Structure 1
Amino acid sequence: MDFDEIDRRILNALQKDASQTNAELAAAVHVSAPTCLRRVKHLRDTGVIAREVALVAPEKVGAHLTAVVEISLDIQAAERMAEFEALVAPEPAVLQCYRVSPGPDFVLIVQVADMPAYHALAHRLFAGQANVRNVKAYFSTFRSKFETSIVV
């Protein structure tokens, strides 16, 4: 999709603060309020803006442990990969799931309260799955950067 400078300014401003009113956003990107409203609607309708969310501080809600988990499957056929994705998709603690290559088949970003909660999740999602060959988890000791913005 082609973006002009106004679209880029709108997207960058919304990624920094999506709670702005249309008037505030229009002023920030130097366009009229009707133009801004029309542009934002178009960006939503075309799926460029996938959704707008609130970012929650994990430590403030008791989710103190972040794990980056590598998963290797025994069988990498497309339907078996899709089965694994369907297994982890409804799990609230799995924040992100990526098919990757080379190396493991999947990398998951997991946010849980503590190590017992991680063990319960690992037992529930991985230990009982015949197609899961290997699980390797890395536990975050400090998060020095976390961004959600994509430069457009």
Structure 2
Amino acid sequence: MSTIRPELDDLDLRILNALQSDAGLTNQTLAERVHASPPTCLRRVRRLTAAGIIEKQVAILNTEALGIGLTAICEITLDRQTTDHYAAFEALTIQEEAVLQCYRVSPGPDFVVVAQVADMPAYHALAHRVFTSQRNVRNVRTFFATHRAKFDTRALLPEPEVRRP
């Protein structure tokens, strides 16, 4: 993955917006939606992927329809806040399947972790494995989602310029 960020033009922004709405579009359909030729579209998508702008393409599942029940939002405070201690905690959390997101935050707790588990016993097992059994974890405060009003994965991009004929 390249560390040089390419300049994003209007076509790049249209492609990224379209893919954020539906990453399963065929190249032909994507090209039609963004008003570009299929070869140009494919070349742009490959460039954006190589540059690390497009990180991966996934399917977003309806967890309620699947009966996957409990979303836990956890605030974690560490005893020692050094770069090495932060890295060790992050390494532990990213290995855990139930952890969907892990953010280092400031001010307040050191981390906010979003996890999805089947039920309360599964949460307790996760909390023990990842939080309370760790010597450097000072405090864990967990909130359980009772209703999800919005869930989106889109990055906020600048609006492409509207071209007038």
Shared fold, TM over 0.5: yes
Please name the residue that 1:145 is paired with. 150
- Tell me, yes or no, if the aligned pair for 1:74 and 1:133 is still in contact at 8 Å: yes
Query: Among residues 131, 137, 144, which one is paired with 1:132 in the alignment?
Result: 137
Deviation at residue 113 of structure 1 after TM alignment = 0.6
Unaligned segments of structure 1, at least 5 residues: none
Unaligned segments of structure 2, at least 5 residues: 1-5, 158-165
The runs of at least 4 consecutive aligned structure 1 residues that moved more than 4 Å come to: none
Please name the residue that 1:73 is paired with. 78
Query: Among residues 99, 110, 120, which one is paired with 2:115 in the alignment?
Result: 110
Query: Among residues 78, 82, 95, which one is paired with 2:87 in the alignment?
Result: 82
Can you list the C-alpha shifts for 1:67-99, whole angstroms capped at 9, x where unaligned? 110000000011011111111111010000000
Query: SS of the counterpart of 1:55?
Result: coil
Tell me whether 1:58 sits opposite 2:72 in the alignment. no
Deviation at residue 135 of structure 1 after TM alignment = 0.1
Query: Among residues 103, 106, 121, which one is paired with 2:126 in the alignment?
Result: 121
| Residue type of the alignment partner of 2:71 | T
Task: Give aligned pairs, total.
Answer: 152
Tell me whether 1:30 sits opposite 2:35 in the alignment. yes
Q: Work out the CA distance in 2 between the residues paired with 1:126 and 1:63.
A: 22
**Aligned-residue CA RMSD in angstroms?**
0.9
| Residue type of the alignment partner of 2:130 | L
Q: Work out the CA distance in 1 between the residues paired with 2:72 and 2:138.
A: 19
Deviation at residue 120 of structure 1 after TM alignment = 0.9
Q: Work out the CA distance in 2 between the residues paired with 1:63 and 1:82.
A: 30
| Residue type of the alignment partner of 1:144 | A
Can you list the C-alpha shifts for 1:95-136, whole angstroms capped at 9, x where unaligned? 000000100000000101111110111111112111100000
Please name the residue that 1:19 is paired with. 24
Query: SS of the counterpart of 2:115?
Result: strand
Q: Work out the CA distance in 1 between the residues paired with 2:14 and 2:35.
A: 9
